């Protein structure tokens, strides 16, 4: 197994928004495998994510970049489970473990960065929230590519989010619809700034293969459904 370890940086951000304000966008590549430059430094994307493991400092980015285009061409959604990495191939799925509290999340790489000394991955707001690092802004993490493992062997507690509503009754209506379709689901209430959201999540599933099989079915009805590790 090949391991890629980067040294831990000493640069920590102070406060939540100082972590997000340093985000620098890489140019949209003509080819996702071609080298690119930021601040005069050249980065060459890896041809494969197989067996990739790395430890270092994670940061996150959120409201300031919500709705903007990422380096992969996708639109950044701070409520999706995504992340930016300097060299991992786009669409790579990685498991991120917060080494300070043991919490884990699975994210998809769809952006480039972070281009700040000592940081190895820039997480979406939602992923950072799941890892318990929104308030601190940064955390010590391990990232592991899941592409070299059979999906049936990737264990955990997975949910599929199929909807998010500002009105609770709408979430209840969707939950009833899912029940008719034969799916178990839960409604999770979250608070963000001055807003309250009710999220409808199908599951749980206890390996990634089960979750992806059902997400594929659900996405034909509920566009934008995505998987996350609880």
- In order along its 230 residues, the chain shows pLDDT tens digits of 333 333 333 233 333 333 443 555 555 555 567 888 888 888 888 888 888 889 999 999 988 899 999 999 899 999 999 999 999 999 999 999 999 999 999 999 999 999 988 899 999 999 999 999 999 999 999 999 987 667 777 777 888 989 989 999 999 999 999 999 999 999 999 876 678 989 999 999 998 889 889 989 999 999 878 777 66
**What pLDDT, on a 0 to 100 scale, did the predictor assign at position 92?**
93
Those residues whose C-beta lies under 8 Å from the C-beta of residue 210, and which sit 6 or more positions away, are: 158
Q: How many domains does the chain have?
A: 2
d(CA 67, CA 88): 22
At 25 the pLDDT is: 52
88 backbone dihedrals φ, ψ, rounded to 5°? -65, 145
CATH number at residue 63: 2.40.40.10
Query: Is residue 59 in some structural domain?
Result: yes
Question: What is the predicted pLDDT for the residue at 15?
Answer: 34
Cβ distance 76 to 7 under 8 Å?
no
List, as one string, the DSSP characters of 153-192: G-EEEEEEEEEEESSHHHHHHHHHHHHHTT--EEEEEEEE
Q: For strand 93-98 and strand 104-111, is the pairing parallel, antiparallel, or unpaired? A: antiparallel
Same domain for 115 and 215, yes or no, is: no
The Cα 84–Cα 229 span in angstroms is: 18
Domain-terminating residue out of 145, 166, 190: 145
**The predicted structure's pLDDT at residue 137:** 94
| pLDDT (0 to 100) of residue 153 | 72
Nearest Cα to Cα of residue 190 among 180, 199, 178, 182: 199
The answer to whether residues 29 and 140 belong to one domain is yes
Query: What's the pLDDT at 17?
Result: 36
- pLDDT the model gives residue 5: 32
Q: What is the pLDDT of residue 13?
A: 37
Q: Identify whether 135 is part of a domain.
A: yes
By the 10 Å C-beta count (0-12 exposed, 13-18 middle, 19+ buried), 210 is classed as middle
Distance CA 39, CA 55 (A): 23
The last residue of one of the domains, among 129, 145, 161, is 145
């Amino acid at each position: 197994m090949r391991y890629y370890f980067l040294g831990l940086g000493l640069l920590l951000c102070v406060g939540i928004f100082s972590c997000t304000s340093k985000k620098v966008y890489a140019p949209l590549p003509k080819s996702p495998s071609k080298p690119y430059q930021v601040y005069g430094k050249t980065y060459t994307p890896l041809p494969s994510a197989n067996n990739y493991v790395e430890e270092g400092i994670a940061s996150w980015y959120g409201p300031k970049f919500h709705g903007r285009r990422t380096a992969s061409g996708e639109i950044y959604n701070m409520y999706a489970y995504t992340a930016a990495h300097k060299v991992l191939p786009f669409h790579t799925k990685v498991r991120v473990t917060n080494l300070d509290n043991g919490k884990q999340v699975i994210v998809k790489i769809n952006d480039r960065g972070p281009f700040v000394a000592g940081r190895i991955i820039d997480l979406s707001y939602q992923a950072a929230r799941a890892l318990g690092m929104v308030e601190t802004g940064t955390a010590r993490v391990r990232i592991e590519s899941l592409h070299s493992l059979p999906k049936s062997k990737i264990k955990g507690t997975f949910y599929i989010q199929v909807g998010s509503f500002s009105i609770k009754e709408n979430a209840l209506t969707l939950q009833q619809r899912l029940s008719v379709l034969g799916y178990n689901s839960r409604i999770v209430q979250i608070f963000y700034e001055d807003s309250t959201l009710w999220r409808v999540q199908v599951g749980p599933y206890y390996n990634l293969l089960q979750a992806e099989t059902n997400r594929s079915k659900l996405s034909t009805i509920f566009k934008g459904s995505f998987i996350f590790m609880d």
